[in-house]
Amino acid sequence: MSSIEIRIINTSSNSLPEYATKGSSGMDIRANLSEPIELKPLERILVPTGLFMEIPIGYEAQIRPRSGLAIKQGLTCLNTPGTIDADYRGEIKVILINLSNETQVIHHGDRVAQMVIQKVEMITWKLAEALEETERSSGGFGHTGKH
């Protein structure tokens, strides 16, 4: 497995994001709060993390929901996965929504999302008059049926 180095500034009192296990794809990121946040049903909020990164060109960071938070509390990320581009230098923030029927409370240090670093391929467009035919062709949105 290869590894890249990413410069990071951590203005929070939380530890840096880290992989929980050897096989983890994502690193948990934590809320950086001065006081708890109450999130009512269907309410959404931008949660600060206190993290600032310098992602190398050719990579992105993706912000994804944590499955445990989603199933246990009904909290998930909007705009999923959220993309952090290589040229962004602002604070990493997480868009959370409460899909449960109860108010949920987020505290400083709570693990609110996970972050995955991905390689990004850049493309160039090639204008064409026609596209190669396939078995599927233009079929989509349930085209293959239910089996």
pLDDT tens track for 54-108 = 999 999 999 999 999 999 999 999 989 999 999 999 999 999 999 999 999 999 9
User: Does residue 134 fall inside a structural domain?
Assistant: no
Number of domains in the chain: 1
User: Does residue 81 fall inside a structural domain?
Assistant: yes
Q: What per-residue confidence (pLDDT) applies to 67?
A: 93
**CATH classification at residue 102:** 2.70.40.10
Domain that holds residue 103: 7-119
Query: Under the phi-then-psi rule, with left for phi > 0, alpha for psi from -120 to 50, and beta for the rest, what region is 34?
Result: alpha
User: Does residue 126 fall inside a structural domain?
Assistant: no
Report, as an integer, the average pLDDT of 44-60.
97
Token code pair at residue 29: 């990121």
Whole-model pTM: value is 0.87
Phi first, then psi, for residue 83 (nearest 5°) are: -100, 130
The rounded mean pLDDT for the chain is 93
Q: What per-residue confidence (pLDDT) applies to 14?
A: 98
User: Does residue 138 fall inside a structural domain?
Assistant: no
User: Does residue 112 fall inside a structural domain?
Assistant: yes
Phi first, then psi, for residue 114 (nearest 5°) are: -125, 150
**What number of other Cβ atoms are within 10 A of residue 59's Cβ?**
15
Local structure of 59: helix, strand or coil: strand
User: Does residue 76 fall inside a structural domain?
Assistant: yes
Is the Cβ–Cβ distance between 32 and 46 less than 8 Å? no
User: Does residue 106 fall inside a structural domain?
Assistant: yes
Pairing of strands 7-10, 111-119: unpaired
Q: What per-residue confidence (pLDDT) applies to 3?
A: 86
User: Does residue 77 fall inside a structural domain?
Assistant: yes
**What number of other Cβ atoms are within 10 A of residue 45's Cβ?**
16
Task: Say whether pLDDT at 1 is over 80.
Answer: no
Consecutive H or E run containing 69: helix 67-73
Local structure of 5: helix, strand or coil: coil
Positive/negative CA dihedral, 102, 42, 63, 71: positive
Q: What per-residue confidence (pLDDT) applies to 147?
A: 59
Task: Say whether pLDDT at 144 is over 80.
Answer: no
